Amino acid sequence: MKFNKAYSDLINKLPPSLVNEAWKRLLSRKKSPMTEEEASTINPIVELFLRHEVNRYQKKLKHQRKSWPLDNLSNIYNNETSTKISIDMVNQESQTQDTVPICEHEEEISCRVKKKLDSLSRQLLEFNEKTFDPFMQEITKRIEEQDNANNELRSEIDQQKLLLQETERKLEILKSKSTY
């Protein structure tokens, strides 16, 4: 990668990973790709391309800064030092983000997901109770009725067994008397 030194002010505004990416994109464009010699000379297309990349990068940084709960560093330092420090810190952050994707809000996201799952679980239980509770009550009522009917039949069977045993004893007695 050999951008012309005339573009050093633009290149310094980008992290090295984006500079490398910009170089590759210039050389592999679908419409009129550039040779390394063309890209390394002073060329209005290269300058426009680098300005576009810097603008995109700065917009990305502004978006990230809005989501960061950090105080404005420019209030602490004078404008010149503040700008340099702020740019260096942001470049360092974006380089890290380019190489290692880290979810900054992982705990918050996990908490939201857990709350949503709990809410959905409660809603599902409530829905199931409303939907299936009448069916379960009907099934429970039928089971109790069947259980009561079974208990009555058992009682009747037990009574019939006692009656049968008593009848068998009487029959035994009659048989024993008839044999004498």
Asked, for residue 156, whether it belongs to a domain, the answer is: no
pLDDT over threshold 90, residue 80: no
Q: Give pTM, 2 decimals.
A: 0.35
- Which pLDDT does position 83 carry in this prediction? 47
Asked, for residue 57, whether it belongs to a domain, the answer is: yes
Asked, for residue 179, whether it belongs to a domain, the answer is: no
- Which pLDDT does position 102 carry in this prediction? 52
Q: Pull the structure tokens for residue 116.
A: 């949503």
Q: What is the DSSP letter of 103?
A: -
Asked, for residue 173, whether it belongs to a domain, the answer is: no
Do 95 and 16 form a contact (C-beta atoms < 8 A)? yes
Number of domains forming the structure of the chain: 1
Binned at pLDDT 50, 70 and 90, residue 11 comes out as confident
Q: Which domain holds residue 24?
A: 5-99
Asked, for residue 67, whether it belongs to a domain, the answer is: yes
Give the torsion sign (CA, 145, 150, 151, 153).
positive
Higher local confidence (pLDDT), 172 or 99: 172
Asked, for residue 51, whether it belongs to a domain, the answer is: yes
- Which pLDDT does position 104 carry in this prediction? 64
User: Three-class SS string for 38-60?
Assistant: HHHCCCHHHHHHHHHHHHHHHHH
Asked, for residue 121, whether it belongs to a domain, the answer is: no
